[in-house]
């Protein structure tokens, strides 16, 4: 009897197990269950989605047919080829970011080429960038500087040696934002004090490598400024990585020339080599490149390419001369953009000026209290007062009767404070109104400047 009872208990337990299994298999009447709940399944990682990143590789002109390589924090790598406009596109998983990018291509102009017998020979150029997320990621000399700042070393060296973990640790949103702030300071240290267009991010803003596009224009200005600074792209990126500026001191100025007070933005700087450099992109005469040294007062001590020059107060104002048929003529008068424009010419009344034309002091001048203007040539009697000089400071200018016609005098004035003294400078540009207008010496077009002084 005892053995038979044990077999009955076992049978009942087995039957109960079968019933539970059957009910569980049928869903338990709406998802419920009897007894112990089924074990929960382990959560699975979210599936990676495919994303696209695209951008422009350019140096002012597009890098056409260049090879773009990406190394990502996930360990993924990929490559793409730039088209005729420098545009490249690559696919990555959403979990691959961030990445570092490198473009290798050929360029054959300006600062990115070797010059042999004045012929641009295509050379290999290598630039870098970072890709923080799907979307736009440009590769330009500007992004190359940012990579230098981010990594703290030469971008090429970092691209070659950076590990996956290093990429994720270095390319963070906070670090990129900080690098962009430092980049703006370094960019402003180039001749002309370059600045980013409003709302433009070199890394992620869409642009076209075509003339007239704000981003492309900046790259062109950068290329000119970098060449004027005497630096290669590699040298610039290395200095940026070390937290160094690209010149010792940068200047921005405005040059005035004929006809009719033509205005040109000038880029200048004291280079890391200690020289003075200036670029005048004259639309009528081509770009003028000036190189020189400093004298003990901080003005230009000599100047290569121009037969004459006069500068004052650490190059805040100056006159530059060219020559034609062995005759030296004042071509430009420039003033630093730090100077303040004088909007009311009556502010000049009662002031004395040294006047310079053809890069030589020709006499003194004075704006009289009645609004007229008197010039006194060196060693000679004063000219008759010229009335209505204030008209020269208007957009219309002051018409002057010449030997065989009419010329128009245009003027501007500026002021600045030095050693507690306010100084003034005026710019006068005379241009023919018609082809018959001539001076006695046969010349009407001229540029001159006056620098104020305190009479003894």
Reported in sequence order, the residue ranges of 188-326 that DSSP labels E, i.e. its strands, are 249-257, 262-270, 276-282, 286-294, 300-304, 308-312, 317-324
Average pLDDT over residues 384-401: 92
Beta carbons within 10 angstroms of residue 388's beta carbon: 11
Question: Do 340 and 349 meet the contact criterion of CB atoms below 8 Å apart?
Answer: no
Q: Is residue 269 part of a domain?
A: no
My answer on whether 236 and 315 are in the same domain is: no
Check whether residue 67 and residue 212 sit in a common domain.
yes
Residue 141 has pLDDT above 60, yes or no: yes
The reported pTM is: 0.81
Segment 373-380 mean pLDDT? 96
**pLDDT value of residue 38:** 44
Given 216, 241, 266, which residue is the final one in a domain? Answer: 241
**Does one domain contain both 144 and 225?**
yes
316 and 429 fall within a common domain: yes
Residue 24 resides in a domain: no
pLDDT of residue 24: 39
The predicted-structure confidence for 24-36, as pLDDT tens digits, reads as follows 333 443 333 323 4
What's the rounded Cα separation, in Å, for the pair 102 and 233?
Answer: 14
Q: What is the pLDDT of residue 456?
A: 58
- Angle between helix 173-187 and 141-151 (nearest 10): 120
Residues 72 and 217 in one domain: yes
Return the bridge partners of 126, or none. Answer: 104
Residue 4 pLDDT level (bands cut at 50, 70, 90): very low
Query: How many C-beta atoms surround the C-beta of residue 221 within 10 A?
Result: 21
Q: Is the dihedral of CA 323, 327, 332, 333 positive or negative?
A: positive
For residue 48, what pLDDT is reported?
72
Tell me: do 225 and 370 sit in the same domain: no
* Residue 14 pLDDT > 60: no
- Do residues 86 and 214 share a domain? yes
pLDDT mean over 86-104: 97
Bridge partners of 373, per DSSP, are: 367, 386
Residue 83 falls inside a structural domain: yes
Q: CB–CB of 174/252 below 8 Å?
A: no
Mean pLDDT (whole number) for 345-368: 96
Please report the pLDDT score of residue 121 as a whole number.
59
* CA distance between the termini of the chain: 141
* Average predicted confidence (pLDDT) for the chain: 86
pLDDT in tens, 48-93: 799 999 999 999 999 999 999 999 999 999 999 999 999 999 999 9
In this structure, the chain runs to a length of 456
- Percentage, residues of the chain above pLDDT 70: 84
Please report whether residue 342 resides in a domain.
yes
Query: DSSP letters of 388-413?
Result: TGGGGGSSS-EEEEETTEEEEEEEEE
Torsion, CA 88, CA 78, CA 145, CA 214, rounded to 10: 10
In the block, tokens 């792209």 appear at 233
pLDDT in tens, 164-176: 989 999 999 999 9
* pLDDT surpassing 70 at residue 180: yes
Residue 192 pLDDT > 80, yes or no? yes
What confidence tier does 445 reach under pLDDT thresholds 50, 70, 90?
Answer: confident
Using N-to-C axis directions, what is the helix angle for 233-241 and 141-151, rounded to 10°? 30
pLDDT digits (tens, 9 = 90+) for 252-283: 999 999 988 999 999 999 999 999 999 999 98
pLDDT at 435: 67
Distances (CA, A) of 64 to 226, 310, 342, 408, 421: 22, 45, 48, 49, 55
Q: Is residue 274 part of a domain?
A: no
Q: How far is the CA of 366 from the CAs of 12, 227, 455, in angstroms? A: 125, 42, 11
Query: Cα separation of 303 and 218, whole Å?
Result: 27
Q: 219 and 315 share a domain?
A: no
My answer on whether omega of the bond before 259 falls inside 30° of 0, hence cis, is yes
Rounded CA separation 178/151 (Å): 12
Please tell me the distance from the alpha carbon of residue 198 to that of residue 125, in angstroms, as a whole number. 28
- Among residues 241, 263, 281, the one where a domain terminates is 241
Same-domain pairing of 206 and 66: yes
Lookup: tokens for 73 = 């924090």
User: Are the C-beta atoms of residues 412 and 395 closer than 8 Å to each other?
Assistant: no
pLDDT of residue 113: 37
Give the tokens for residue 284. Answer: 């009528």
227 and 80 in a single domain? The answer is: yes
Spatial distance between the Cα atoms of 414 and 347, rounded to a whole number of angstroms = 10
Whether the Cβ atoms of residue 330 and residue 356 lie closer than 8 Å to each other: yes
The token duo for 390 is 């204030």
Domain count of the fold of the chain? 2
Per-residue pLDDT of 290-347, as tens digits, reads: 899 998 888 988 888 788 999 999 999 999 999 888 888 999 999 999 999 999 999 9
The answer on 355 and 228 residing in a single domain is no
In a domain, 33, yes or no: no
Domain that includes residue 161, residue range: 50-241
> Picking from 115-124, 226-235, 408-417, 430-439, which range would have the lowest pLDDT averaged per residue?
115-124
In-domain check, residue 297: no
Answer whether residue 2 shows pLDDT above 50.
no
Indicate the residue among 206, 241, 276 that finishes a domain: 241
Q: DSSP state, 345?
A: G
- What is the pLDDT averaged over residues 196-205? 97
HSE-CB of 64 using CA atoms within 13 angstroms: 8
Pair 147, 62 in one domain: yes
Whether pLDDT at 423 is above 90: yes
Q: For position 228, what pLDDT does the model report?
A: 94
**225 domain residue, yes or no:** yes
């Amino acid at each position: 009897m005892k053995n038979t009872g044990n077999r009955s208990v076992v049978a009942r337990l087995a039957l109960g197990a079968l019933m539970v299994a059957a009910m569980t298999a049928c869903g338990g009447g709406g998802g419920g269950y009897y007894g112990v709940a089924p074990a929960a399944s382990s959560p699975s990682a979210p599936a990676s989605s495919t994303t696209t990143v695209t951008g422009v590789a350019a140096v002012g002109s597009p890098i056409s047919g260049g090879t773009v390589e990406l190394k990502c924090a996930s360990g993924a790598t990929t490559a793409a080829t730039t088209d005729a406009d420098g545009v490249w596109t690559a696919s990555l998983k959403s979990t691959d970011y961030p990445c570092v990018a490198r473009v290798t291509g050929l360029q054959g102009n300006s600062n990115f080429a070797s010059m042999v017998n004045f012929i641009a020979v295509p050379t290999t150029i290598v630039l870098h960038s970072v890709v923080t997320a799907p979307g736009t990621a440009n590769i330009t000399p500007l992004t190359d500087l940012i990579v230098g700042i981010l990594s703290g070393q030469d971008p090429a060296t970092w691209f070659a040696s950076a590990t996956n973990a290093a990429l994720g640790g270095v390319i963070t949103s906070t670090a990129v934002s900080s690098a962009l702030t430092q980049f703006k300071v370094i960019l402003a240290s180039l001749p002309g004090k370059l600045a980013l267009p409003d709302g433009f991010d070199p890394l992620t803003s869409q642009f076209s490598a075509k003339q007239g596009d704000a981003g492309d224009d900046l790259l062109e200005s950068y290329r000119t400024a970098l060449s004027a600074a005497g630096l290669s792209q590699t040298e610039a990126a290395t200095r940026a990585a070390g937290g160094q500026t690209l010149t010792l001191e940068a200047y921005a100025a405005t040059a005035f020339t004929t006809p009719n007070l033509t205005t040109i933005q000038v880029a200048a700087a004291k280079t890391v080599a200690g020289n003075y450099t200036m670029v005048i992109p004259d639309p009528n005469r081509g770009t003028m490149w000036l190189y020189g040294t400093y004298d003990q007062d901080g003005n230009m001590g000599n100047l290569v390419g121009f037969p004459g020059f006069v500068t004052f107060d650490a190059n805040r104002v100056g006159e530059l001369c060219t020559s034609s048929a062995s005759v030296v003529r004042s071509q430009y008068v420039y003033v630093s953009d730090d100077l303040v424009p004088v909007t009311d010419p009556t502010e000049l009344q009662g002031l004395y000026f040294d006047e310079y034309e053809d890069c030589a002091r020709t006499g003194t001048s004075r704006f009289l209290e009645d609004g007229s203007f008197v010039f006194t040539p060196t060693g000679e009697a004063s000219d008759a007062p010229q009335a209505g000089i204030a008209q020269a400071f208007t957009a219309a200018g002051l018409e002057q009767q010449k030997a065989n016609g009419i010329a128009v005098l245009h003027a501007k004035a500026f002021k600045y404070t030095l050693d507690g003294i306010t100084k003034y400078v005026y710019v006068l540009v005379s241009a023919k109104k018609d082809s018959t207008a001539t001076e006695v010496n046969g010349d009407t077009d001229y540029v001159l400047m006056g620098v104020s002084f305190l009479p003894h």
